[in-house]
Amino acid sequence: MSRLPAPLPWPGGARAAASFTFDLDAESGLLWEQPEVAARASVITHQSYGPLVGLPRLLDLLERHRVRFIFFVPGWTAERYPGAVRDVVAAGHEVGHHGYLHEQPSALTEAEEATALDRGLAALEAVAGVRPVGYRAPMWDASWRTASLLAERGFLYDSSLMDGDSPYELAASSSASSSASSASSVVEIPIHWALDDWERFAYLPGLVGSGLIEAPAVARAVWEAELDGLRAAGGCWVLTCHPFLSGRPGRALELERLLERVLGMDDVWLAPMEDIAEHVRSLGLPPRTLVPPQV
Ligand SMILES: [Zn+2]
């Protein structure tokens, strides 16, 4: 008898679940942290490569394999690149919420976090006519109240936390502003820094990274090792890629090889995040309450 929680049952008797995810940040994150970079054309164009070139390349790649995944899009990015977000929707992919200007929730007041959520929702609705059911905290830096704010707005799931191999129901604590009709939990689909292309490829002198940019094959090896582990553990593998990084040609080639390998695994349920969240919700798991440390 293992001391670990029993693996979740996955559709079709699969042993594990997997999903590719894409964060269409463009310039938003840099501008939120350091608005003065707006004056730097080379820095800005490093980021705008995402919606301008990386995204179309990745959409073509996904279409070749007839797979549907998710693009998390900050509202500000949707307003600056409306055609890019409409292309994502037209290609049949899910659009997720990723803040307005990529604000880190842990750095915001509750009112500011709520405003960022509402502005992001309004922008995605206005630009692409979509109402996302999934959320990913910018910089994977959720606050302790994020789940409640999401539940109040009818989100099905979050994908920002790191305390599991598999999704779970995350309790949304009630607050003064929550209504009686708010859901009591959101599905949490955990992620991890090892499964992010940022750490492998991101470099902007003086702003991001050390200057060491990994070979795409090395990045793929790291991601495959995590996949092999989560497959054995019956967990849920979620890879996060940014079009301005993984949309570059050599990296996209390697990403396609990885996708082909996962598609060839008949014991892995490869699905969009929304489908994974709906499956987990259907299991009726008891919500987990997270307790912040007292210091
Ligand atoms: Zn992001």
Calculate the alpha carbon distances from 48 to 55, 88, 93, 214 in Å. Answer: 10, 16, 21, 21
CATH number reported for the structural domain that contains residue 245 in this entry: 3.20.20.370
> Is 293 in contact with 25 (CB distance < 8 Å)?
no
Calculate the alpha carbon distances from 180 to 151, 170, 176, 183 in Å. Answer: 11, 18, 11, 8
Measure 51 CA to ligand 1 centroid, in angstroms. 13
Measure 36 CA to ligand 1 centroid, in angstroms. 19
Q: What is the pTM of this model?
A: 0.96
Measure 23 CA to ligand 1 centroid, in angstroms. 5
* Token pair of 254 as six digits: 């390697």
Strand pairing category for 157-158 and 185-188: parallel
Which residues, 6+ apart, have CB-to-CB distance to 39 below 8 Å? Answer: none
Measure 240 CA to ligand 1 centroid, in angstroms. 9
Range of the domain at 159: 17-282
Q: Any idea what DSSP says for residue 92?
A: T
Question: Which tens digits make up the pLDDT trace of 177-199?
Answer: 445 556 799 999 999 999 999 99
Asked if the structure places residue 186 within a domain, the reply is: yes
Q: What are phi and psi of 12, to 5 degrees?
A: 70, 15
Residue type, 5: P
Asked if the structure places residue 288 within a domain, the reply is: no
Asked if the structure places residue 273 within a domain, the reply is: yes
* Token pair of 35 as six digits: 């608005």
Measure 214 CA to ligand 1 centroid, in angstroms. 20
Measure 125 CA to ligand 1 centroid, in angstroms. 19
pLDDT in 10s for each residue of the chain, 295 residues: 789 989 999 999 999 999 999 999 999 999 999 999 999 999 999 999 999 999 999 999 999 999 999 999 999 999 999 999 999 999 999 999 999 999 999 999 999 999 999 999 999 999 999 999 999 999 999 999 999 999 999 999 999 999 999 999 999 975 544 455 567 999 999 999 999 999 999 999 999 999 999 999 999 999 999 999 999 999 999 999 999 999 999 999 999 999 999 999 999 999 999 999 999 999 999 999 999 999 9
